Structure 1
Amino acid sequence: MTEKMEATERVFQAVLFEVLAVSLSILGLALFTDHAIGALSGTMIIVATIAMCWNFIFNWFFDRVATGAKEKRSLLFRVFHVILFQGGLLIFTIPVIAYILNVNFWQAFIMDIGVTFFITLYAFTFNLVYDHTRAYILRSKKSAHAVNV
């Protein structure tokens, strides 16, 4: 049985995810829009803060429903997880993007969909790597502890 994540690790995971996501999203938006880096940076920091809170809340509830070893989750299950997460996040972020960048909801939706598409692929990869790395570290600690006992 895999050890459950404590709140501290959940915060670490969310912050690591968001720092990387914000940096990559700002670069992507700068390439595909005419908005200034400063405006995009501020917008993405706010969006990331919303996403970080949503990540913590969503995954806390999701893990209560979806029990078992995370590293053994199927590809289809991981796709389902990320689609639910990103769909919920769109509801919160489209109005924020529209307001801060002074664009209409359609433009905000298009920008958010672009970021969401990228982040969806990123989230899938990040969580897969994180879960397997975590499982490896836990196994290594358990093995080291067994050798030292």
Structure 2
Amino acid sequence: MRSTKDRIRHTVGFELIGLLIFAPVGSWLFGFALHQMGIIAVVASVIAAGWNYLYNLLFDKAMLRFTGQLRKPVAVRVLHAILFELGLLVVFLPMVSWYLGMSLLDAFIMDIAVAAFYVVYAFIYNWAYDAVFPVGSTAGKHGKPMAESA
């Protein structure tokens, strides 16, 4: 399992890079002011950061329970990203509709586009993160895992 410190690094990196990509691209693509997309992105990022930490912790525990290991083949990575985004969709849809003054249907269409971006982004980010920081890379001497740090 990943340590708390590693999970925090993962989440902060994911959210910061996502913000830097989403706000300007969302502004350009959807025709809203950069500050509007920025506010949506920051609020969404705060909510998503908490969900990211909890979701990945629960997903890893489920992986260990049902498969006995943490290796994620491509199909599991795809499922992982889709389930994560579906959870966020439920929270973000009413918020986006209200803040941008659009119908729930228009907000849903916009959210589907954003979710599609984040599914691809989450897949790439998590794959790259696991390559750069593989599970067990925090092992101490003699290959024994170090105690989880806060």
Fold agreement, TM-score > 0.5: yes
> Which residue of 1 is the match for residue 113 of structure 2?
114
CA distance in 2, matches of 1:108, 1:58: 24
Q: 2:33 aligns with which of 33, 36, 53?
A: 36
Structure number with higher helix proportion: 1
> Which residue of 2 is the match for residue 90 of structure 1?
89
TM-score scaled by length of structure 1: 0.84
CA distance in 1, matches of 2:99, 2:20: 18
Alignment of 1:60-139 (within 5 A): 60-67=57-64, 68-70=68-70, 72-135=71-134, 138=137
Q: Is the 8 A contact 1:50 1:93 kept in 2?
A: no
Aligned Cα RMSD in Å? Answer: 2.0
TM-score scaled by length of structure 2: 0.84
State the identity as a percent.
27
Q: Structure 2 unaligned runs (5+)?
A: 143-150
Q: How many residues align?
A: 139
Q: Structure 1 unaligned runs (5+)?
A: none
Change over 3 Å in CA distance of 1:136–1:43 after alignment to 2? closer
Q: Is the 8 A contact 1:43 1:101 kept in 2?
A: no
List structure 1 runs of 4+ shifted beyond 3 angstroms: none
CA distance in 2, matches of 1:42, 1:103: 16
